[in-house]
Amino acid sequence: MSASIALHDLTLGYDRHPAVHHLSGRFMPGSLTAVVGPNGSGKSTLLKGLAGLLAPLEGRLERSGLQPADIAYLPQQADIDRSFPISVMETVLLGHWRRVGLFRALTRAQYRQAEEAMEAVGLAGFAGRPVASLSAGQFQRVLFARMLLQDCPVILLDEPFTAIDTRTTSDLLAVVARWHGERRIVIAVLHDLDQVRAHFPDSLLIAREPIAWGPSADVLRPENLFRARQMAEAWDDRAEPCRRSAG
């Protein structure tokens, strides 16, 4: 895969108030990057920008070799409505939309692919269960199975392991490792720094502004984490809009 995502002095935010600003760098094929930082530091905003859901206030975001459908985005579970009456199998099959659209009939092979994806995340036998009946961990497995079917070169995960059990986290980390081995671009917002050190080769530490970006062992040094906390404590949510963005 030759796709990459480049950020050029990128500023993202709402109503001209920057949530993360002046960020430059590049996500390359095969990169597995954790986005870390204090609460409210712009991590989720960054993922929304990378997914194309939020336009830059300033700077540029280049998705070389990528179409919008090439990016699979998993928001936080709190942002997902599970009240709609749909089964596990029907939810997983939505991953085929990228290739078949809404109205074409699915083939037997595509149903088998959905079954294999469910087996890969530990959901064999769950096909007919309504998603509303699932635990948080089971539902997260469903969403990962759907992303396996999407087969996208870019995977964006917003706090994918929050409020799920240790076994589910371990199983889903194995899926992330699989994507990494397939040289996809995988970017995940995470809070558990021990988890980051163990499983994510690269990290981006932000506190609305970039603190460090590179190998996790270098980024997660105490001095960088201390600087991020200091910047978080100095935030003023009543500050004026970004002047360079206001014009």
pLDDT in tens, 60-87: 999 999 998 999 999 998 667 888 889 9
* Residue listed under structure tokens 């270098």: 218
19-60: pLDDT as tens digits: 898 999 999 999 999 999 999 899 999 999 999 999 999 999
Pick the more confident residue, 34 or 239: 34
* Residue 174 in domain: yes
State the residue range of the domain holding 119. 78-152
- For residue 97, the 8-state DSSP code is H
Nearby residues of 219 by Cβ (< 8 Å), 6 or more positions away? 36, 202, 203, 204, 205, 211, 212, 213
208-222: pLDDT as tens digits: 999 999 999 999 999
Task: Name the pLDDT band for 108 (thresholds 50, 70, 90).
Answer: very high
Nearby residues of 104 by Cβ (< 8 Å), 6 or more positions away? none
156 neighbors 71 (Cβ within 8 angstroms): yes
Do 107 and 173 belong together in one domain? no
pLDDT > 70? residue 243:
no
* Residue 72 in domain: no
183-200: pLDDT as tens digits: 999 999 999 999 999 999
Nearby residues of 178 by Cβ (< 8 Å), 6 or more positions away? none
pLDDT at 242: 57
Tell me the C-alpha distance between 191 and 194, whole Å: 9
Do 134 and 167 belong together in one domain? no
* Residue 71 in domain: no
